């Protein structure tokens, strides 16, 4: 990390693995340092510009929200650089499915975290979250089984090997959180 530049921390993991929970917890613990948080979900392209994918079986077609082309990755990259170099913040948290997948974004990260969680737990969390947002169980499971799990295997899972630390998303560890916070405080 260059002097005067913010420490950039990337958090990746599968859908409903605990990425946002970890990001929010870090932001809360480090509140006095006023971290800047970038949620990759805030960079989704309008639905009409997102790629579409056809289910491997059947005739269903979906907006492919788990594909790199669905997100303005270049804009996120530029926003991270601008924030990192402006000198107004010392900590930047970048959270999203493809945080470690995208080469340009990954190259900006000083600390790379991957939240790992088994697929069965992730689908149950996704069901709970998305049903609270008005989707039916069938809609959620169809999208997951037809697209999400394949994109996870294609883009998200392989990116975990770029991580400096792989964290347990099923049972978050206080020890791991303390280590991450100690590391951050050491470098700011």
Tokens encoding 14 = 């599968």
Closest alpha carbon to 99 in 50, 38, 151, 47:
38
Of the candidates 112, 108, 118, 107, the one whose C-alpha atom is nearest the C-alpha of residue 18 is 118
Determine the pLDDT at residue 169.
92
pLDDT at 67: 94
Tell me the three-class secondary structure of 80-105, residue by residue: HHHHHHHCCCCEEEEECCCCCCCHHH
pLDDT value at 151 more than 60: yes
Total structural domains within the chain: 1
Is residue 107 scored above 70 in pLDDT?
yes
Q: Is residue 57 part of a domain?
A: yes
Name the pLDDT band for 144 (thresholds 50, 70, 90): confident
Report the CATH number that the domain containing residue 125 is assigned in CATH: 3.40.50.300
Provide the pLDDT for residue 178: 94
How is residue 169 annotated by DSSP? Answer: S
Give yes or no for residue 26 having a pLDDT over 60: yes
150 vs 23, residue with greater confidence: 23
pLDDT at 184: 94
Rounded-to-integer distance, Cα 129 and Cα 8, Å: 28
pLDDT band of residue 111 (cuts 50, 70, 90) is very high
Confidence of residue 56 (pLDDT cuts 50, 70, 90): confident
pLDDT for the residue numbered 3: 57
pLDDT of residue 2: 57
Name every residue whose Cβ is closer than 8 Å to that of residue 49 and which is 6 or more positions away in sequence.
none
181 lies in a domain? Answer: yes
Average pLDDT over residues 111-135: 91
- pLDDT more than 70, % of the chain: 98
Q: Let me know if residue 122 belongs to a domain.
A: yes
Residue 17 placed within a domain: yes
The reply to whether 1 falls in a domain is no
pLDDT at 1 over 60: no
Residue 2 lies in a domain: no
> What's residue 185's pLDDT?
92
Range of the domain at 88: 7-187
Stretch 63-88: mean pLDDT, rounded? 95
**Cα–Cα–Cα angle for 23, 11, 97, rounded to 5 degrees:** 110
Residue 98 falls inside a structural domain? yes
Q: Is residue 178 part of a domain?
A: yes
pLDDT score, position 134: 87
């Amino acid at each position: 990390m260059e002097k005067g530049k913010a420490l950039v921390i990337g958090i990746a993991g599968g859908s409903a693995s605990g990425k946002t929970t970890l990001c929010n917890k870090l932001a809360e613990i480090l509140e006095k340092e006023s971290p800047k948080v970038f949620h990759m979900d805030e960079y989704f392209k309008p639905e009409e510009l997102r790629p579409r994918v056809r289910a491997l079986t059947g005739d269903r077609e979906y907006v492919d929200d788990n594909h790199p082309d669905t997100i303005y990755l270049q804009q996120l990259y530029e926003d991270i650089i601008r924030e990192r170099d402006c000198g107004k913040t010392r900590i930047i948290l970048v959270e999203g499915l493809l945080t470690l997948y995208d080469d340009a974004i990954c190259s900006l990260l000083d600390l790379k975290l991957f939240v790992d969680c088994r697929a069965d737990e992730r689908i149950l969390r996704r069901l709970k979250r998305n049903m609270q947002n008005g989707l039916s169980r069938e809609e959620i499971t169809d999208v997951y089984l037809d697209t999400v799990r394949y994109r996870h295997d294609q883009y998200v899972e392989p990116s975990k090997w770029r991580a400096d630390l792989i964290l347990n998303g099923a049972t978050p560890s206080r020890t791991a959180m303390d280590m991450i916070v100690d590391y951050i405080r050491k470098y700011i």
